[in-house]
Amino acid sequence: MRALAWPGGEAGCVSIMSEDPVSPDQVYAALVALRREPILDPELWPDGPQQDDLRRLLGVLLAVVELEITAATRLGSDQDTDVAEVLPGWTDQVGATPGLFANVLANRLQRTVQLMGLDEVEEGGETSPGRMASSMAVVAAADTLDADLNFQSGDIDGVRQALGRAEASVIEIQQSMHDLRVAIGDAQEE
């Protein structure tokens, strides 16, 4: 397993650098081992995966792992227990460094919002009120986490900016929830 380093020390200025970065070949080999490797056209990739392919391959590996976790933690009476059993492995890898932990979570929240946006585009471009409220809730979570990281590092202007973004998201959540209530007939349109 590769270790992650947290250089610096200011919670708001966390950067993640691998002491032993993975290569595109290693990620591709992991996908091969999981029988989920993407097909690489030999004309486009005569030398196999290249450094420019690393992020995409990591995305494939991330999706494979998330799909496996989802399959192993299906909705049901034991879902909370099932999900909780995944967490020790995650925390063993990430460690107990609060800034690193929060940085990884903020990155995950950003990816979640982007994925929700992609799903909306594929469904025709019109964002449903429930989807908008959900997206804004994730944005509010990321911005609130950012506000806390800025507070921990003493960046008061950063706290103000992040809280402003989070508050704007909360307003959008409330408006979208109201729009959803209007759509089901529980509220009057304003």
Report if pTM > 0.75. no
Read off the amino acid at residue 179.
Answer: D
pLDDT digits (tens, 9 = 90+) for 94-113: 877 777 888 888 888 988 88
Whole-number Å distance between alpha carbons of 145 and 141: 6
Domain ranges for the chain = 23-74+81-95, 96-189
> Residues with Cβ < 8 Å from 26, sequence gap 6 or more?
none
pLDDT, average across residues 42-71 = 89
Whole-number Å distance between alpha carbons of 56 and 6: 24
Structure tokens at 92: 């063993």
CB 176 within 8 A of CB 129: yes
% of residues, the chain, pLDDT over 90: 39
The pLDDT of residue 91: 86
Beta bridge partners of 17: 5
